[in-house]
Chains A and B, each alone.
Chain A
Amino acid sequence: MADGLFDQFKDWYEKRHDYARDWKARTGGQVVATMCTYTAEELLIAAGMLPVRVLGAHEPQNVTEPHIFGMFCPFCRDSLAQGLLGRFDYAEGVTLTQSCIQYRQTFSSWRSNVPSVKWDYYVPMPNDVQSPHARKAHYAEIQAFRTFLSALTGKELTDAMLHEATDVVDENRRLLRQLFDYRKEANPKVTGVEALYASLTAQFVDKKEHNEQLKKVLAALPSRPMDRKEGVRFMTIGSENDDVAFMAMVESVGSTIVIDDQCSGTRYFWNESMKDADPVKRIAERYCDRPACPTKDYPAHTRFDHVLGLAKDYNARAAIFLQQKFCDPHEGDYPDLKEHLEKNGIPTLFLEFDITNPIGPFRIRVEAMLETLSEEELF
């Protein structure tokens, strides 16, 4: 849209490293590279740090082969490449909360081989979050992370500090939900590309600053005129996706992306913490309760109905699987999730993503999908 309403988010996204350097110069705080959206940012924020999620650059690279296998997912390889190429040289720390084994290896390679790393911390969050022991275990891990950060900064992280940080992060989640609610409407006032810019930037911009920007956008949205055609309403499903060029292509050929189940989108911010006097419990349980990534979704597949619910709530006509090549957890879910959606009237398209993606062939597939969905009788 030409009104520039989302330009600040776009600018932050395109100059994310400049933003982090500037934040550091402004505040004197530490920057921490985070590697999974299960990372409890609340703790880092309470410690006066800026959590910056590691995203790829979608450009060819040749630096990761000595460290991780070529058959690791492209997002892991691209993420590690950014560290090895010095793009995060402003980040003192790096942290990962356990999700998939490929990410774990990426984290290990990062902390061993990126020279600017001064400290690292791994949170062994249980993958079996459905276990009756998971909450207690994760509570202990969050407490241990808190103790580590207190020792690192030489400043105790008090309950009040944790509550304050959690309130700020919860506000961010709430505002993003409000922004995404606009996508339920016919010809929504927020495009898929714009929503992606908003949810991605929340993962590396100072939350208070991000909240203020979200409030400005939310205030302007009710009167925003939409001069584009809605076309077919798509949902996207997958792991991480920040391929803006792909999203823009999809929305340029007669469609609008109205919702997602991705960690670059809704899975990152969907649920707030429950109110509790114990801030560690608030934080730990929030991450156990969030919409699950496939690595943490067994024995029951809770995400299948969650994804279908999103598709229905946002009136998605069809879904596109953005499958990171070699991403075993998502590939494992794919056949059953596809069947679940299609049985419930949501046709699907499968596209395999790599570090760089062939926009031309992808465009043909998306256009073919649109033609199969066309109500127009050709004959």
Chain B
Amino acid sequence: MITAGIDMGSRSIKVVLVEELKVDGAPALKYGVKKSHIMMPGDLDQDVAADKAYNEALAAAGLKKEDVKAVFATGAGRKQVAFATEGVTEMTAGAKGANFMFPMCRTVVDVGAEEGRGMKTDAEGKAVDFAGNEKCAAGAGSFAEAMSRALQMTLKEFGEASLKSDKSIPMNAQCTVFAESEVVSLIHSSTPKNDIAKAVLDAVASRVCAMVRRVGIEGEVVLIGGMVHNAGFVQSLKTAMGVDTVSLPDMPEYISALGCALIAAERQH
């Protein structure tokens, strides 16, 4: 049996196709990722983009629509996926996907383009509590993106630059626009770019950490979402949370879509 999960993010659409595996003698059903696919929707309408991304994923996997038993959607635009059988929230999908990749995971930190959130999960991958940032980009990836633009660096360069700094410069601004003013002030005071990058990522990590503390930090901590690719942020987050290790999936932006596809598969039984 094959099921699909579609994560309608604010920047990109992720599709994951999951296959149920027959393992003789195994105590429980097993699942494997058949195909994952990402598409930047550009100026397409969300419903059109969802359809396009799904068809691309099916084509890449060599599958037809009728091969897929159920399609579940998640993400900010999940209601726009007209062909989805059901929808689940990003919290539920993210917790499921992270727990699938890391079975000892009990705390999930999800930092995507427009939202940061923390989830507590049980042993089965069910989200039991969550907290998210409120009406503000300061705890999300787009904040780091805006600040890297101000420093005329790519996001990757931004993260790497941060790792070269051993300074802790507090950023007091809680809003992206005012933070940019602070970055400009730091540039004018000849603060090295590495130190500014670390200050920004420390600030994002601090905001995210505050949210995660609302649900509590327990067990293995897993970071998902696009900010996993930012090595400087990962280091800042570990420091802010006071943990030695944060587990990072190989394809972090797909985890919510994966969780969604897994839930779709489970609901067929």
A371 within 8 A of B: yes
Q: Give the Cβ gap from A238 to chain B, nearest Cβ, in Å.
A: 15
Which of the residues B92, B96, B135, B267 comes within 8 Å of A368, measured between beta carbons?
Answer: B92
* B134 in contact with A352 (CB, 8 Å): yes
Taken residue by residue from 111 to 129, chain B's Cβ proximity to chain A (1 for < 8 Å, 0 otherwise) reads as 0000000000000111111
Q: Give the Cβ gap from A35 to chain B, nearest Cβ, in Å.
A: 27
* B124 in contact with A365 (CB, 8 Å): no
* A361 in contact with B266 (CB, 8 Å): no
Known: A364-B90, A367-B89, A368-B89. A378 touches B135 (CB 8 A): no
A120 within 8 A of B: no
Q: Complex formed: what's the CA distance from A379 to B126 in Å?
A: 8
* A378 in contact with B126 (CB, 8 Å): yes
Q: Complex formed: what's the CA distance from A364 to B74 in Å?
A: 10
A276 within 8 A of B: no
A28 within 8 A of B: no
Closest chain B residue, CB of each to CB of A370: B89
Taken residue by residue from 352 to 364, chain A's Cβ proximity to chain B (1 for < 8 Å, 0 otherwise) reads as 1010001011001
Closest chain B residue, CB of each to CB of A342: B129
Q: Complex formed: what's the CA distance from A13 to B18 in Å?
A: 51
**Which A residues are CB-close (under 8 A) to B88?**
371
B130 within 8 A of A: yes
Q: Give the Cβ gap from B224 to chain A, nearest Cβ, in Å.
A: 15
**Which B residues are CB-close (under 8 A) to A379?**
96, 124-126, 262, 266
Q: Give the Cβ gap from A287 to chain B, nearest Cβ, in Å.
A: 34
Interface set, chain A 80-96, CB cutoff 8 A to B: none
Q: Give the Cβ gap from B11 to chain A, nearest Cβ, in Å.
A: 17
Q: Complex formed: what's the CA distance from A367 to B132 in Å?
A: 13
Interfacial residues, chain A to chain B (CB-CB below 8 A) = 347, 350, 352, 354, 358, 360-361, 364-365, 367-368, 371-372, 377-379
B17 within 8 A of A: no
Which of the residues A358, A372, A377 comes within 8 Å of B130, measured between beta carbons?
Answer: A372
Interface set, chain B 128-169, CB cutoff 8 A to A: 128-132, 134-135
* A378 in contact with B128 (CB, 8 Å): no
9 contacts between A and B (CB under 8 A): A364-B89, A364-B90, A367-B89, A368-B127, A371-B89, A372-B129, A372-B130, A378-B96, A378-B126
* B91 in contact with A368 (CB, 8 Å): yes
**Which A residues are CB-close (under 8 A) to B131?**
350
**Which B residues are CB-close (under 8 A) to A378?**
92, 96, 124-126, 263, 266-267
Q: Complex formed: what's the CA distance from A347 to B130 in Å?
A: 12
Q: How many residues belonging to B are interface residues under a CB distance threshold of 8 Å?
A: 23
Q: Complex formed: what's the CA distance from A180 to B130 in Å?
A: 31
Instruction: Label chain B's interface by main secondary structure.
Output: mixed
Interfacial residues, chain B to chain A (CB-CB below 8 A) = 76, 88-92, 96, 124-132, 134-135, 214, 262-263, 266-267
Known: A364-B89, A378-B263. A358 touches B127 (CB 8 A): no
**Which B residues are CB-close (under 8 A) to A358?**
135
Closest chain B residue, CB of each to CB of A347: B129
* A354 in contact with B135 (CB, 8 Å): yes
Most buried by B among A347, A360, A365, A368: A368
**Which B residues are CB-close (under 8 A) to A352?**
134-135
Closest chain B residue, CB of each to CB of A369: B130
Q: Give the Cβ gap from A104 to chain B, nearest Cβ, in Å.
A: 27
Q: Give the Cβ gap from A345 to chain B, nearest Cβ, in Å.
A: 14
* A371 in contact with B132 (CB, 8 Å): no
Closest chain A residue, CB of each to CB of B87: A367
**Which A residues are CB-close (under 8 A) to B135?**
352, 354, 358, 361
**Which B residues are CB-close (under 8 A) to A367?**
89
Q: Which 3 A-B pairs have the closest CB atoms?
A: A368-B89, A368-B91, A371-B92
**Which B residues are CB-close (under 8 A) to A364?**
76, 89-91
Q: Complex formed: what's the CA distance from A367 to B92 in Å?
A: 10
Q: Give the Cβ gap from A363 to chain B, nearest Cβ, in Å.
A: 9
Closest chain A residue, CB of each to CB of B132: A365
Closest chain B residue, CB of each to CB of A376: B267
Please give 9 more A-B residue pairs, beta carbons under 8 A apart, in addition to A368-B127, A371-B88.
A347-B129, A364-B91, A368-B89, A368-B92, A372-B130, A378-B124, A378-B125, A379-B126, A379-B266
**Which A residues are CB-close (under 8 A) to B266?**
378-379
Q: Complex formed: what's the CA distance from A352 to B129 in Å?
A: 17
Closest chain A residue, CB of each to CB of B128: A372
